[in-house]
Amino acid sequence: MIAALLVTAVLPIALAQEPQPAAQSAGVPATMAAAPDTGGGEAVRVYVDCTRCDFDFLRTEVTFVNYVRDRQVADVVVFVTSMSTGGGGRIFTVAFLGHGAFAGRTDTLTYTVNPTNTPVENRAIFVRTVSQGLMGYAAHSTLAPHLSIRYLPPASNAPARQGRDPWDYWVYQVSVNGNLSGQSATADNNLSGNLSANRTTEQWKIGLSAYASYNRSRYDTDSVTTFVSTRESYGGNALVVRSLGGHWSAGASLNVQRSSYSNFALRLRAAPALEYDVFPYARAQRRSLTLRYTAGLEYARYIEKTLYGVTYEGRPVHSLAVSYSVRQPWGSINVSASHSQYLHDLSKLSDGVSAGLNLRVLQGVSFNVNGSYTRVRDQLYLPAAGATADAIIARQSALATDYRYYAGVGFS
């Protein structure tokens, strides 16, 4: 299987030794920068690698270093990664990787932003964290005598009281979207909505969601003929996961779907799952290798009779997925493979692979390539009557296929 081949190819790379970060730097009081550096090469040279940060604001606020555009000539690489938190925010890890005279030195700071923060608040926290981390390097430069540190005491010396969370770790989100466009001969209307409730603690992760989507398009092909295309999709998902330690987790998922495109009047899939993370959670932002196995039952009731002459059926199904990702200052790699199979007929299966590479090849130049390929042998839902020419053009109905693919390449 493709998934097994991927494990064989990726596992030796993933298990290779990675430089271990030094102990996390102790919290440093907020810094007060000296006047902007006018000494040219006197200041520490810094390269910032961050896709979600306001670099222009950082450059105007932190002026005791020189910023460079090539990490090869930097004294310090500031490497920023992030991942979502259970409460809807994000936790950022800022790694300071020493080069040249600072080779071998690595410091790490972390901070969390809440989903209710404004962009101004988020960038202020980012600048403060970077300033704290860079101060230890700037203190060894010739600009050290020009630096000072300012401490802003808390409003009260009394420890903050941890009040009871009235939401009990639950986070709710509701969104409704609608749009319309057209001209005299055509019109397109779309309405969609999403509802979710999530609860994440150290031991449990619970996710509940529901969605609905309706699309209607009208085309006047001539003065007397009008073609109308509609697509509807409704569904919901439930996920419960229990942590079994630093690497293992177990859970179960339930998926419900109605889709006019895929001929589902109702599709219900329930499957327990087991997942293993080769690397511990603490290193997930920089490197991860995950293996997930699920096995369960699928029930389907169809809008039209299928190619196999049924209007409803229940089938056992299982799947295996492997994913590997790494992000370093030189770029990032993401590789995944999946295998899904109906157990009543082992020939009804789907195998897919996808990969993406973003590589910094020259100063200020990055190369990226990504693609995916899926071998399709499990379209049990296709209607026996097939699709009309109008439905094919309007993409109202899924079509029989042996494969799906995507590829993209570019420079930036």
Which residue, chain included where needed, has tokens 């490497």? Answer: 79
What distances in angstroms separate CA 34 from CA 91, 149, 150, 218, one per listed residue?
29, 10, 12, 64
Quick one: pLDDT at residue 352?
97
Q: Is the pTM of this model over 0.75?
A: no
Domain-wise residue ranges, the chain: 30-149, 170-411
Tell me: the pLDDT tens digits for 151-165?
A: 877 766 555 555 566
Residue type (1 letter), 121: E
- Separation between Cα atoms, residue 253 and residue 239, nearest integer Å: 4
Q: What mean pLDDT, rounded, does the chain reach?
A: 84
Mean pLDDT for 368-385 is 94
Whether residue 343 is predicted with pLDDT greater than 90 in this model: the reply is yes
Q: Which CATH class is domain 170-411?
A: mainly beta
C-alpha to C-alpha distance for 315 and 163, rounded to whole angstroms: 49
| Dist. CA 241–CA 237, nearest whole Å | 13
Confidence at 317, pLDDT banded by 50, 70, 90: very high
Check residue 273 and give its pLDDT: 93
**Rounded to a whole number, what is the distance in angstroms from the first to the last CA of the chain?**
35
Q: What is the largest CA-CA distance in the chain?
A: 84
Asked if CATH classification 3.40.50 holds for the domain at 30-149, the reply, yes or no, is: yes
pLDDT score, position 282: 62
Give Cα separations from 5 to 335, 337, 371 (angstroms).
12, 9, 18
Closest C-alpha among 95, 128, 132 to residue 113: 128
Cα–Cα distance, 394 to 217 (Å, whole number): 9
Region 230-238: mean pLDDT is 95
Residue with tokens 């899904």: 340
Pair 81, 49: CB distance under 8 Å = no
> Would you put residue 218 in left (φ > 0), alpha (ψ -120 to 50) or beta?
beta
Average pLDDT over residues 70-85: 86
What is the three-class DSSP state of 9? helix
Top-ranked range on mean pLDDT: pick from 170-174, 314-318, 359-363: 314-318
pLDDT digits (tens, 9 = 90+) for 262-281: 999 999 999 999 999 888 76
